[in-house]
Structure 1
């Protein structure tokens, strides 16, 4: 009969390799940190409150302003929400599917590169507090997208690495 805590128990594995355990936990939390905002903010894009909240962000950014003439205010919001929800679902599937990870990472990278870039066009500094480095509400909302961009790039790169090699196929 084997002892109750043999070397293959989960407790022993954690104790023997805490770095791997912390890395796994960190990756899980980071992935959750991308999925939650994408999904929750994506759902909000279908509400009038979010349609209104997007107006200064989209109209104040030259490389996004084209969305309104093409899709209208509500249509642009719905399009963004749809992309965000689909991307969140792909991120959820990414640990099981390298292809889902590549698509999620690519869309996430594009999404967060664009949203991070809006900080170059919009007023993000709290002027009454002295400006830089004090972020106003818009800056505080957007600054998180820099980290989400980094996580998207990690998922993209790792997922590319998990794809079957073309050279290994007959």
Structure 2
């Protein structure tokens, strides 16, 4: 599992770096706004270290396929790289003021995904000593939080309206609008997210519940990756992700979390299924 995780980190970091280089900042501008007043000149200036950091993640992830020292450096880099975005969640700029602010996420929907990257960093740092239970719950937290939080927002009209273009463009999801209206389709997606995370968590105690939970959670993040094909605005130009595309590609981090928690679950529970 670990080589696949490292490759997912490398691919996502490379694509995001290319996007930032092209000026597709997305939630990055809201993150910067937490620390300093934003201006176009400041964004361009701060983006350069961001590109260097992402490029370093690509190199370290690839080197980690062979060397443990590179894996440790990658782990520390992931922790540091995810810390600043996550700290900015304590500000107000990531929430929708017209809806009361916290917990109504705006740009914060992209920022909370850095929790997945943080969990990956801690897991890699503690890889030789962490128990299976630690690795399972460490990687469950970001998966559970994003499905609980963003899934819960699907029950609100503003979010139901916001996902229409994505859902209607998807061959995997567009059928929902044939059997339900805009709000009901969004509600069904939210209920699916919540059921998936409950089954995944319960699967730690009752192993036979894990597989349906794993498949359901995994399908959420894999489906979002298909938006890169079905949703043309995911790309600002050939090979360069738009801000929407950067938001989507970050779900590769959750797929990496899922692989690591599955490996931990199998080490703990595999023999009990025999």
Which residue is 1:73 aligned to?
182
- Between the aligned partners of 1:149 and 1:18, the Cα distance in structure 2 is 18
The correspondence for 1:29, drawn from 138, 141, 144, is 138
- Between the aligned partners of 1:91 and 1:63, the Cα distance in structure 2 is 22
Question: Contact 1:105–1:153 (CA<8 Å) still a contact in 2?
Answer: no
The correspondence for 2:239, drawn from 132, 142, 162, is 132
Question: Contact 1:98–1:162 (CA<8 Å) still a contact in 2?
Answer: no
Question: Contact 2:224–2:251 (CA<8 Å) still a contact in 1?
Answer: yes
Structure 2: gaps of 5 or more residues: 1-125
**CA distance change for structure 1 residues 154 and 22 in 2, over 3 Å: closer, same or farther?**
closer
Cα-to-partner distance string for 1:41-79 (whole Å, 9 max, x where unaligned): 110000011101111101122332111011111111000
1:19 counterpart = 2:134:
no
- Between the aligned partners of 1:143 and 1:26, the Cα distance in structure 2 is 23
TM-score for both structures, normalised by structure 1 = 0.72
- Between the aligned partners of 2:254 and 2:205, the Cα distance in structure 1 is 20
Which residue is 1:100 aligned to?
209
Q: Say what the alpha-carbon RMSD is for the aligned residues.
A: 2.6
- How many residues align? The count is 145
1:146 counterpart = 2:252:
yes
Structure 1 residue 91: Cα displacement? 2.4
Question: Contact 1:104–1:156 (CA<8 Å) still a contact in 2?
Answer: no
* SS state at 1:65 partner: coil
- Between the aligned partners of 2:260 and 2:186, the Cα distance in structure 1 is 27
Structure 1 residue 138: Cα displacement? 1.7
Which residue is 2:195 aligned to?
86
Question: Contact 2:135–2:261 (CA<8 Å) still a contact in 1?
Answer: no
TM-score for both structures, normalised by structure 2 = 0.47
The correspondence for 1:51, drawn from 145, 154, 160, is 160
| Structure 1 residue ranges (4+ consecutive) displaced by more than 3 angstroms after TM superposition | 22-27, 150-160
- Between the aligned partners of 1:148 and 1:42, the Cα distance in structure 2 is 15
Larger radius of gyration: 1
**CA distance change for structure 1 residues 110 and 149 in 2, over 3 Å: closer, same or farther?**
same
Structure 1: gaps of 5 or more residues: 1-16, 166-170
Structure 1 residue 144: Cα displacement? 2.3
